[in-house]
Amino acid sequence: MLKNKNIILGVCGSIAAYKSAFLVRLLVKAGANVKVILTPDGANFITPLTLATLSKNPVYTQYFEEETGVWSNHVELGLWADLIIIAPISANTLAKLSTGICDNLLTAVYLSAKCKVYVAPAMDLDMWKHESTQQNIQRITGFGNTVIAPGSGELASGLVGEGRMAEPEEIVRFLENAIKKSMPLFGKKAMVTAGPTYEAIDPVRFIGNHSSGKMGFAIADELVRLGADVTLVAGPTVNNGVESYKRIDVVSAEEMFKACSAIFETTDITVMCAAVADYRPKFVASQKIKKQDSDFVLELEKTTDILAALGMRKKGNQILVGFALETNDEENYAKGKLEKKNLDLIVLNSLNDKGAGFKSDTNKITIFNKALQKTVFEMKSKTEVAKDICKAILKILK
């Protein structure tokens, strides 16, 4: 959720400022671009060098640096940010935000920002409980800001109670959940299949195909980015993907069928991207088959058509997306598959298009919807193709 997000971290005067170092590290590890604004009081508790080293960006402390002649443009910083988190925020800065006082760089950036602002208070128990502090909390939340409530525990004064800044891990989870709730697919459950299936001939050999799983993994990643709760059912592949979805590893078409069948009823969106074997050996040898002088005949039987089976079970507003990889008469085959298997979308790619299909990092697709309306896309990276497919899914949901 935080990957490539531009985040401004404001650090105010509090003993809890030491936690800001850990927070910066976690935000950077999550893939965010972090710029730190340190108030003069905050600099008494943690050094700019520490925060600059961890954020990999200069730390801003004032409007104008006399030694370097550099002016920190508060408007530019405010517009750069996708979100602002002030952690810790002191009672003093909290009061300034509630009344619009603008006497340092952080408060100026706050007033210039167009993004969501989060604050994590840190102060002593009596300061936190004071009526003026609570009124200031109500005022800033009334402005649309979000307060990450402090926890309870031993405070710097020796008192025990509320006032401890939330732990960095809690803050990161809070931000991720808040972002996820604003995503268009929040609350939706999605299932994606990816990669090939291997159909055993004997303990050593199998029937398979050249699918790398890259397209399915890219779709799963994009659905996660849009806020969906994603389960990926993956055939044998070296792809790792992200950690933000549940992954079920399978080998054969039968295993994939069972895994998909078990969770299909609970899914809102299913994207069947895997290259599932159409046939498997009728008999699997228990020992390695030895080389023979004569020809070897392998008898095959059909595997379960997973997509068709799910299409028969599809109910209500469930969205089912299939793929068609063709070599000839592509559009007719794709449209036939769309109608026959009760799909909402069919994604066609042709092996006749150079750079499309298995193993490559690019793909060229055509999408047909239920009304057989056709949308043709140019050659793109599979990451961008995944975005196009998910946009077509979002159109159905609107």
Tokens linked to 280: 């498997």
Both 31 and 161 in one domain: the answer is yes
Q: What is the pLDDT of residue 356?
A: 58
Both 122 and 253 in one domain: the answer is no
Q: What does the pLDDT average to over 221-233?
A: 93
What's 249's DSSP letter? E
Both 220 and 167 in one domain: the answer is no
Both 143 and 288 in one domain: the answer is no
Share above pLDDT 70 across residues of the chain, in percent, rounded to a whole number:
96
Residue 1 falls inside a structural domain: no
Both 358 and 209 in one domain: the answer is yes
pLDDT in tens, 8-56: 999 999 999 999 999 999 999 999 999 999 999 999 999 999 999 999 9
Q: What does the pLDDT average to over 283-299?
A: 87
Please check the confidence at residue 93 and state whether its pLDDT lies above 90.
Answer: yes
Q: What is the pLDDT of residue 68?
A: 65
> 3-state DSSP call for residue 386?
helix
88 cis-preceded (ω within 30 degrees of 0): yes
Q: What is the pLDDT of residue 149?
A: 92
Q: What is the pLDDT of residue 355?
A: 57
Q: What does the pLDDT average to over 168-191?
A: 92
Q: Binning pLDDT at 50, 70 and 90, where does residue 305 land?
A: very high
Residue 115 falls inside a structural domain: yes
Residue 49 falls inside a structural domain: yes
- Final residue belonging to a domain, choices 162, 181, 200: 181
38 touches 60 (CB < 8 A)? yes
Q: What does the pLDDT average to over 350-370?
A: 77
> 3-state DSSP call for residue 103?
coil
What's 58's DSSP letter? P
pLDDT in tens, 267-282: 999 999 999 999 999 9
Give the list of residues 6+ apart from residue 22 with CB closer than 8 angstroms, or none: 168
Q: Which residue did the predictor score with more confidence, 67 or 183?
A: 183
Share above pLDDT 90 across residues of the chain, in percent, rounded to a whole number:
74
Q: What is the pLDDT of residue 390?
A: 97
Classify residue 335 by burial, with Cβ atoms within 10 Å: 0-12, 13-18, 19+. Answer: middle
Q: What does the pLDDT average to over 94-110?
A: 94
Residue 163 falls inside a structural domain: yes
Both 320 and 370 in one domain: the answer is yes
- Final residue belonging to a domain, choices 120, 152, 181: 181
Classify residue 68 by burial, with Cβ atoms within 10 Å: 0-12, 13-18, 19+. Answer: exposed
- Final residue belonging to a domain, choices 137, 157, 181: 181
Q: What is the pTM of this model?
A: 0.76
Please check the confidence at residue 67 and state whether its pLDDT lies above 80.
Answer: no
Q: What does the pLDDT average to over 49-72?
A: 84
Both 88 and 200 in one domain: the answer is no
CATH of the domain at 173: 3.40.50.1950
Both 113 and 227 in one domain: the answer is no
Q: What does the pLDDT average to over 142-165?
A: 86
Please check the confidence at residue 69 and state whether its pLDDT lies above 70.
Answer: no
Both 30 and 162 in one domain: the answer is yes
Q: What is the pLDDT of residue 62?
A: 83
Which residues share a beta bridge with 279? 302
Q: Binning pLDDT at 50, 70 and 90, where does residue 358 land?
A: low
CATH of the domain at 248: 3.40.50.10300
Please check the confidence at residue 64 and state whether its pLDDT lies above 80.
Answer: no
Q: Which of 209, 239, 342, 369 is catalytic?
A: 209
Average pLDDT, the chain: 91
Nearest to 115 by CA among 138, 73, 143: 143
Both 147 and 218 in one domain: the answer is no
Both 35 and 98 in one domain: the answer is yes
Please check the confidence at residue 261 and state whether its pLDDT lies above 80.
Answer: yes
Please check the confidence at residue 352 and state whether its pLDDT lies above 90.
Answer: no
Domain that holds residue 115: 6-181
Highest-pLDDT range among 120-129, 209-218, 260-269, 355-364:
260-269
Rama region for 187: left / alpha / beta (φ>0; ψ in -120 to 50; rest): left
Q: What H or E segment, with its residue span, contains residue 95? A: helix 91-99
DSSP letter string, 286-339: SSPPPP-SS-----EEEPP-HHHHHHHH--TT-EEEEEEEESSSHHHHHHHHHH
Rama region for 357: left / alpha / beta (φ>0; ψ in -120 to 50; rest): left
Nearest to 307 by CA among 285, 331, 274: 274
Q: Could you give the number of structural domains in the chain?
A: 2
Which range is least confidently modeled, 62-66, 93-97, 130-134, 227-231? Answer: 62-66
Q: What does the pLDDT average to over 213-236?
A: 94
96 touches 107 (CB < 8 A)? yes
Please check the confidence at residue 66 and state whether its pLDDT lies above 80.
Answer: no
Q: What is the pLDDT of residue 357?
A: 58
Is 317 tagged catalytic? no
Q: What does the pLDDT average to over 212-224?
A: 93
Q: What is the pLDDT of residue 241?
A: 59
Both 161 and 213 in one domain: the answer is no
Nearest to 234 by CA among 265, 260, 204, 269: 260
What's 204's DSSP letter? S
Q: What does the pLDDT average to over 185-198?
A: 95
Q: How far is C-alpha 149 from the geometric centre of its chain's CA atoms?
A: 25
Q: How many CB atoms lie within 10 A of CB 106?
A: 28
Q: What H or E segment, with its residue span, contains residue 92? A: helix 91-99
Q: What does the pLDDT average to over 240-258?
A: 87
